[in-house]
Amino acid sequence: MLSSLAHRALERDGLGGIRDKVLASERLTEAEALSLFEARDLAALGSLANHVREKRHGDLTFYNRNVHLNPTNVCVATCKFCSFARPDDKHASQGYTMSLEQSVHHVVSKRELGITEVHIVSGLHPDLPWEYYLETIRRIRQAWPELHIKGYTAVELHFFAEKFGKTHEQVLRELIDAGLTTIPGGGAEIFAERVRRKICDDKATAEQWLAVHRAAHGLGLKSNATMLYGHIETLAERVDHMARLRALQDETGGFQVFIPLAFHPEHNMIGKAFPKPTGYDGLRTFAVSRLFLDNFDHVKAYWVSLGERLAQASLSFGVDDVDGTVLEERIYHMAGATTPQALSEAQLHRMIRFAGRVPVERDSLYHVLRVHDAPAQGAVTAAAGGPR
Amino acid sequence: MKLRAAAVSFLNARPLTAGLAGSPLIDLVLAEPSLCASMLEAGDVDLALLPVGALPGRDWEVVPGLAIGADGPVQTVVLCGEEPPERWDEVFLDTASRTSQILAQLMLRERGITPRYTHMPAVEGLARAVGPKGALVIGDRAFDVRKRVILDLGREWNQLTRLPMVFAVWAARPGALRPEDVQELARGAQVGLGMRTELAQQFAREAGGDPERYRRYLTQKIRYGLGPHELDGLEAFLSRAALAGLVPPTKLRFADDVVRSRRIRRTVSIDLALQKGADGVRLDPDEAEALDEKAPLLELGLAADMRRRALHPEGVVTYIVSRNMNYTNVCTTACSFCAFYRPRGHDEAYVLDRGEMAKKIEETLALGGIEILLQGGLHPDLGVEWYEELFRWVKSTYPAINLHALSPEEIWHIARTSDLSLDATVDRLVAAGLDSIPGGGAEVLDDEVRRRIAPLKCSTDEWLTVMRAAHLKGLRSTATLMFGVGEDSRNRVNHFVRLRELQDETRGFTAFICWTFQPENTRLEPSDNSAHAYLRVNALARLVLDNVPNFQASWVTMGGGVAQAALHMGCNDFGSVMIEENVVSAAGTTFQMDSEEVERHIRDAGFQPARRNMRYQLIGQAV
């Protein structure tokens, strides 16, 4: 139930109409989403988004235990916001490509840590054969049959299709046969053509990105969706991005979660002109997306990009998922992220509990693995003070 | 039933024991150090001010926060003789203290000296310490030792380890201490430490000698805190002694010091309390406590935002350009939550000189700064004259600089070391150029918490007394809260209520700032110190402190994003572009912003940035 203070604030800000639609579970228009973005009243906006979040999930807050695998950073695309990609494998350019053995070892060596998912994202390597990508999945599947393999963004999948002369469906079928279970949401950036032309004109277009996800959903794969915000895009272009996702979701129902990602400015081509988006921008983006994307189950805050403090605050602004323990994140850290490269499960629990929520470990398909409703032994430090 | 306790009668113990005279909880008998240990062992007492050498091999519970120690020369634990120690073939060990016996052996061993040790009373040992013989003398008679060679074992230890030496702690039979006993000991210490001048005079009347010398001994040589560095020193001593085979290995155990006593609270409607707060109606402590415990973040935020809109309808968010200049990190209070302080003999201990200060101030001016936030540790050697000269120099050399200086704790310290009244101290500092007072060192203004985390800091009343005195003389100050140190809702609300009462009286607080305890490099275990807790407590404070005009967002500890959220939940100020900050960063937090970045955050959050001075008057246009 929305509180009387929230009602008062929303009326005051002229958001009474939007509030009424949200309370009646009616769909918001793009113009309404834009006016929420521009409202400049974070507490009122947050209250509305929190209302929807709690209606869907109560206090449950999801995370998983995962490991990231980035088999190569060599990439033919020249995205202006990227600090990770290198043009070739040469030592001088700090490019690298992992052997199949290295990739498998990287994942399997984490077995004792209770990992349930590997998240695989790479560069668009000019020379690697199709077999490399298939074999990566195949060998991980063989070595660890019960592990969820979330692999290859739509941009990579589209690249494979073009490079190896296959349809999206063919690419996906072969990967599914090799052991792939879900598709990550990366590479979406901002769909608007004006923006893509300027920041990533040589990789999959919006239509191609959406086509890959449509194909995946058609084959029964679930996938995620991202939005890279806080660079050259306008607020209207953010809304347009979300609207296209919402439309595809109406069609397929295959998206599990929406993940707004903050642009990180260091060591890339546009960072100098565009500072990192502020935390305020992040919080309102979470809130608006929670309200606008009425057909998405989950909204995720990626703590690696936000920092633990903002990620925790986001749990009151529509977010119900904080990603995972994320072992050895590389992509954001090469763009200057100063967050830790991994969080222990106890740290995640502490962050979630202190926000008044209940930590829930999930798998890649958002099945609940364990509800941590009683404080685990030693997970939350007692309030006893004094020297130790 | 009263707790039976034993303590030594030495001068250095009196600040810990004098305040316990007439205590309703503790019955004190005085004895020699070694006797204190045997009484505890025999069960004659439950609690003793115990030489640390008596800790190994026992499971005594140590009382946190308090100790008798030194971080340099101690004067009352000495090895002496007529010839250099290298020539000693026998050393007579004063039987009065086992700790000093161990220390003496450790220090001689460090120098490669391994004489025969013979135990005998100091009077006898002293008389025999001629030729190749040395003697250990401890206690007050060491003040008067006349020998050609004197090794001060406090200094020797400090030079060897760069750590303070802890000689004695309060220790108790396991389970004997109730939390209120621990608090009583801390209370007693606060009283006793406040009367060190009197204790010195009294001792001079009893034993003869120079009262001033005794006063300096109590205020400058002996440390009474047991903070992180002192614990390091204690652990180093015990492990070296164990390595040398002098004592069995020891693991320190501490007495539980958490008190749980609750008053009965009437039932409060959260919704109604929020409405009242939002409308600027004064909240009573019951309502505030209920909100602290139960109200959701965004509800508190919405109400606080309504208050902010009522008090600051212009949509302007102010900030100041200032530099934090920490003139010294030497400190005697040894707070368990502090990562910044160093004991006096420590390698990293410093006092800034004029050249360093001039450079810092000039850099500040070059960056458009108008204020120096001058704060430091409680350095035992700096008297009021040092501060007066410093302030006069700053004001005459840099007239444009506002001196926002010295937390209440430091002002008390200056009064104490200079033997001045509080009023006289403030008057002299103001005459020398003090413009305003930062609200630091408040931590949680509830003695239940203060005694636990900072037993040697000034009490709640003392903190408020300084602020009252300063306000009545026309000075303005800020007020702060540091939380997440294991306090509860009631403690936090007590903090707000005490501030609100004084503000009703003086109107001297310009702003309130809170932040959470940053635990890295400290030994205190945090309770909830998360961003979520920060936003909640900050919003609650905006509702309860209805008479404090301005609220600062703490981006230094919380980061820019959380601070922006705070602007939408009660704050109207973005603090300062701090050209330098040392205390919080010592505890692991390192958020940095320049003016441009501060203004970008303010604008992006939907507000108009403006620069201000310490009195919250706007100055010039924003960049």
- Reported ipTM: 0.90
Let me know whether B108 and B179 are in one domain.
no
pLDDT of A202 above 50: yes
On whether residue B484 sits in a domain, the answer given is yes
* Across A144-158, B325-339, B539-553, B559-573, least confident range: B325-339
Let me know whether B125 and B139 are in one domain.
yes
Let me know whether B49 and B81 are in one domain.
no
Q: Are B486 and A384 in contact (CB under 8 A)?
A: yes
The mean pLDDT of A193-221, rounded to a whole number, is 95
On whether residue A188 sits in a domain, the answer given is yes
CA atoms within 13 A on the CB side of B407: 19
Sheet arrangement for strand A368-371 = A321-324, A60-64, A358-362, A368-371
Q: How many domains does chain B have?
A: 3
Shortest Cα distance, chain A CAs vs residue B392, angstroms: 40
Over residues B272-317, the pLDDT tens digits come to 999 999 999 999 999 999 999 999 999 999 999 999 999 999 999 9
Q: Which of B243, B268, B297 is the last residue of a domain?
A: B243
pLDDT of residue B37: 86
Over residues B515-530, the pLDDT tens digits come to 999 887 777 888 999 9
pLDDT of residue B238: 92
Q: What is the band of B256 on the pLDDT scale with cuts at 50, 70, 90?
A: low
Structure tokens belonging to residue A384: 């006893």
DSSP A93-133: GT--B--HHHHHHHHHTTGGGT--EEEE-----SS--HHHH
On whether residue A179 sits in a domain, the answer given is yes
What CATH number has the domain bearing residue B99? 3.40.190.10
Cross-chain residue pair B605–A42, CB shorter than 8 Å: yes
- Distance separating alpha carbons of residues B483 and B492, to the nearest angstrom: 8
- Distance separating alpha carbons of residues A295 and A52, to the nearest angstrom: 12
Domain coverage including residue B223: 3-68+165-243
The mean pLDDT of B318-328, rounded to a whole number, is 90
* Across A50-64, A221-235, B195-209, least confident range: B195-209
On whether residue A293 sits in a domain, the answer given is yes
Q: Which of B212, B243, B274 is the last residue of a domain?
A: B243
Q: Which of B243, B267, B284 is the last residue of a domain?
A: B243
Burial of residue B209 (CB within 10 Å: 0-12, 13-18, 19+) is middle
DSSP state of B13: G
On whether residue A47 sits in a domain, the answer given is no
Let me know whether B127 and B227 are in one domain.
no
- Distance separating alpha carbons of residues A376 and A355, to the nearest angstrom: 16
Q: Are B539 and A320 in contact (CB under 8 A)?
A: no
Let me know whether B426 and B317 are in one domain.
yes
Q: Are B580 and B324 in contact (CB under 8 A)?
A: yes
Domain coverage including residue A339: 57-71+99-371
DSSP state of A315: T
CA atoms within 13 A on the CB side of B464: 21
Let me know whether B227 and B98 are in one domain.
no
On whether residue B289 sits in a domain, the answer given is no
Give yes or no for A346 touching B (CB within 8 A).
Answer: no
Q: Are A299 and A320 in contact (CB under 8 A)?
A: yes
Helix segments in B43-94, DSSP class H: none
Let me know whether B469 and B602 are in one domain.
yes
DSSP B163-218: S-EEEEEEEE-TT---HHHHHHHHHHHHHHHHTHHHHHHHHHHHH-S-HHHHHHII
Let me know whether B30 and B64 are in one domain.
yes
Q: In this structure, what is the dihedral angle of CA atoms B30, B36, B41, B45, given to the nearest 10 degrees?
A: 20
Give yes or no for A58 touching B (CB within 8 A).
Answer: no
Cβ-Cβ contacts under 8 Å, A316 against chain B: 296-298, 532
- Distance separating alpha carbons of residues B623 and B600, to the nearest angstrom: 11
Shortest Cα distance, chain B CAs vs residue A225, angstroms: 24
What CATH number has the domain bearing residue B523? 3.20.20.70
pLDDT of A376 above 90: no
Give yes or no for B226 touching A (CB within 8 A).
Answer: yes
On whether residue A380 sits in a domain, the answer given is no
Q: Which residue of A has its CA nearest to B338?
A: A387
On whether residue A20 sits in a domain, the answer given is no
Q: What is the 3-state secondary structure (H, E, C) of B308-347?
A: HHHHCCCCEEEEEEEEEEECECECCCCCCCCCCCECCCCC
pLDDT of residue A223: 98
Q: Which of A9, A355, A385 is facing B302, going by the closest CB pair?
A: A9
Let me know whether B178 and B213 are in one domain.
yes
Over residues A118-155, the pLDDT tens digits come to 999 999 999 999 999 999 999 999 999 999 999 999 99
What's the mean per-residue pLDDT of chain B? 89
On whether residue B272 sits in a domain, the answer given is no
Interface of B with A in 497-526 (CB under 8 A): 523-526
Let me know whether B408 and B362 are in one domain.
yes
Q: What is the band of B259 on the pLDDT scale with cuts at 50, 70, 90?
A: very low
Residue listed under structure tokens 């490099």: B521
Q: How many domains does chain A have?
A: 1
Helix (H/G/I), strand (E/B), else coil: A12: helix
Q: Tell which wins on pLDDT, A267 or A317.
A: A317
The mean pLDDT of B3-30, rounded to a whole number, is 91
pLDDT of B265 above 80: no
Let me know whether B190 and B124 are in one domain.
no
On whether residue B257 sits in a domain, the answer given is no
- Distance separating alpha carbons of residues B96 and B216, to the nearest angstrom: 24
pLDDT of residue B456: 83
Residue among A278, A281, A338, A349 with most chain B CBs within 10 A, to mutate: A278
Bridge partners, residue B138, by sequence: B77
pLDDT of residue B336: 80
Q: Are B565 and B549 in contact (CB under 8 A)?
A: no
CA B306 remoteness from chain centre? 37
On whether residue B268 sits in a domain, the answer given is no
Q: In this structure, what is the dihedral angle of CA atoms A289, A291, A295, A301, given to the nearest 10 degrees?
A: 40
Nearest to B238 by CA among B88, B11, B466, B54: B54
Over residues B402-434, the pLDDT tens digits come to 999 999 999 988 998 888 999 999 999 999 999
Q: Are B363 and B578 in contact (CB under 8 A)?
A: no
What angle do helix axes B297-311 and A4-12 make, rounded to 10 degrees?
40
Burial of residue B205 (CB within 10 Å: 0-12, 13-18, 19+) is exposed
Structure tokens belonging to residue B196: 């060190």
- Distance separating alpha carbons of residues B376 and B362, to the nearest angstrom: 20
- Distance separating alpha carbons of residues A4 and A20, to the nearest angstrom: 14
pLDDT of B398 above 90: yes
Let me know whether B127 and B53 are in one domain.
no
Give yes or no for B560 touching A (CB within 8 A).
Answer: yes
On whether residue A90 sits in a domain, the answer given is no
Q: Which of A50, A283, A354 is facing B565, going by the closest CB pair?
A: A283
pLDDT of residue A328: 61
pLDDT of residue A388: 32
Q: Are B313 and B293 in contact (CB under 8 A)?
A: no
Q: Are A320 and A57 in contact (CB under 8 A)?
A: yes
What CATH number has the domain bearing residue A226? 3.20.20.70
